[in-house]
Structure 1
């Protein structure tokens, strides 16, 4: 057993009946994260108090809560489901530095250069495709193609103010530049883009046949495929596949710093990445040597993965969301 685990088992025996505790704010879907946190609790004796995001406030709600609690933190560990809001939280002094040697198998491209957060087990932005439609037989090769006449009134996008859709929009603005990005948004509006409440609602519009294409995440596609629903999947590779890692950050001034480090080490371990890769969310492990089972996704199978300057993309996030609001939501 790891040395840090023995330490906390000892601490658990010295702190009375209540034992050690750690509080985590978790934006990753509860259906996939709860079992991981329960296993950590069982194996370490550290009680986990988890606060989860709701679908209605996905990703954004917990980030705002952390800001509101900055002077008196209640959270120890932040498990975000995308990196850009974590970058912004780190820049605001809400995260503290990770100890040296955390997750050595995860490459620097998935980590903060200042060691305030670390990515793990990502999802890919993808197209959910109606297999009975023209989109299912010859899907677009780039999100730029979604403005083409053949897809008029047949494309759905989640509300970009929440979750990974906003992250995606910020990355596109960073990669393309403001002029190309705003022109593309105008093209989407003129082409009758449909706005759904969430990534899963976007996927569901494809399943019902309301649209042919939905811009979503791979986990939202995979979870219904495993229920036997026929749904196509496409990656847009012209600019590189966009892979969004989960992120772990330790909260500055948190109530339980030692327990927080133990939980962060657990989340960044190959074991947890393998659990997420094998789950119905089909996450993509980022750690070197992490095993992926049959039907899973790994970095090699994705081909050209976009290299993203997370800090620069994070700076574009508020502006990109405002651009999308003006172009697509102010109707």
Structure 2
């Protein structure tokens, strides 16, 4: 991914300066009680049977592994949403006593900050709004493995790393958001927005700023190949405007300056709808992209125990319910979505995450050339 002109390149740039840093990790293991030595056993064997000591029938209490007491601070960089990040921060601090230093921004801004700090990394945990961008961090050797995360077995497997380098704790789907006052009959397919009736009425988020928008572009291209560019080129000819990150692309639709946002994240639309705004969302029957929001521990972390506890908290019942309340899709299979369609109700494209990761930089560059 690249920053500004594409999210992937920045993740690779971060590697160049940071890959030399050592892996920070820690763990404990309970040691079994030592057994009697061979010498002691031989000594007992020489004692007459009647005089040999009688083994105790009283069972020893089971050995209990004590949890480590957490301390210090934790630095978290999060690609929003702001209210959710703050709620999770408060819950985690109350539970652990560890204070969080939080930076919030788009996926592009988070990666940009990591690049700026590459000589002296400060972040412990990173949350991005793009699975391929997080895959790029892992490939660059920046993430730390955490295999024993609590409730990880309940996550939707496709959203997380099987080796424990990142965890898809939530997700959003990309769709067509529309102003219900201006659009009584919404379009049904992505291609509908190339028609004359929608000329100059549509926004699209900038994939150089929005990780989820880039997931849509690369996901669509991974299913269509080079022919997928025809749709985006037709969008441009029909006056579709590239309009910043997701919120910037959505706001003009809420106010009525535009009628539609295409490839916008759904949870922002549902949040606005819940507040009484004239906005709603459809998912084309041909399918869309569900964009996981993975969390990963950066291996230069100065507080690995607190970082692991943060991942555990993200996957807890408490945090997953917070996620549902924010209109995002929970990462756990056993926590239902709230007041919005769930994963099984959203038609999905058969996308290729590996292709998306490998082609994010080139796709962003070409997209920007088309829409500049």
Write the mapping of 1:1-331 to structure 2, written as runs, cut at 5 A: 7-8=67-68, 11-12=69-70, 19-53=71-105, 58-70=106-118, 72-100=120-148, 102=150, 103-133=152-182, 135-137=183-185, 139-163=186-210, 164-178=212-226, 180-215=227-262, 216-238=264-286, 240-279=287-326, 282-293=327-338, 295-302=339-346, 304-329=347-372
TM-score, structure 1 as length reference: 0.85
For residues 201 and 71 of structure 1, what CA distance do their matches in structure 2 show? 32
Write the deviation string for residues 259-285 of structure 1: whole angstroms up to 9, x where unpaired.
111101111223312111113xx0112
Contact 2:289 2:349 in 1 (8 A): yes
Contact 2:149 2:311 in 1 (8 A): no
Where do 5+ consecutive residues of structure 2 fail to align? 1-64
TM-score, structure 2 as length reference: 0.76
Match of 1:16 in 2: none
For residues 291 and 183 of structure 1, what CA distance do their matches in structure 2 show? 37
Structure 1 range deviating more: 23-32 or 68-77? 68-77
Match of 2:38 in 1: none
Structure 1's 212 and 254: CA in aligned 2 closer, same or farther, altered over 3 A? same
Write the deviation string for residues 74-121 of structure 1: whole angstroms up to 9, x where unpaired.
111111122121111111111122224551101321112443212122
Structure 1's 7 and 165: CA in aligned 2 closer, same or farther, altered over 3 A? same
For residues 282 and 353 of structure 2, what CA distance do their matches in structure 1 show? 24
Where do 5+ consecutive residues of structure 1 fail to align? 13-18
Write the deviation string for residues 298-317 of structure 1: whole angstroms up to 9, x where unpaired.
22332x33343322211111
Contact 1:270 1:287 in 2 (8 A): no
Structure 1's 41 and 194: CA in aligned 2 closer, same or farther, altered over 3 A? same
Give 1:195 deviation, angstroms: 2.2
SS at match of 1:287: coil
Structure 1's 267 and 101: CA in aligned 2 closer, same or farther, altered over 3 A? closer
SS at match of 2:146: coil
Structure 1 range deviating more: 62-71 or 312-321? 62-71
How big is the alpha-carbon RMSD for the aligned residues of Structure 1 and Structure 2? 2.2
For residues 67 and 198 of structure 1, what CA distance do their matches in structure 2 show? 20
Structure 1's 60 and 79: CA in aligned 2 closer, same or farther, altered over 3 A? same
For residues 307 and 71 of structure 1, what CA distance do their matches in structure 2 show? 39
Structure 1's 151 and 30: CA in aligned 2 closer, same or farther, altered over 3 A? same
**Matched residue count:** 306
For residues 82 and 69 of structure 1, what CA distance do their matches in structure 2 show? 21
Contact 1:173 1:316 in 2 (8 A): no
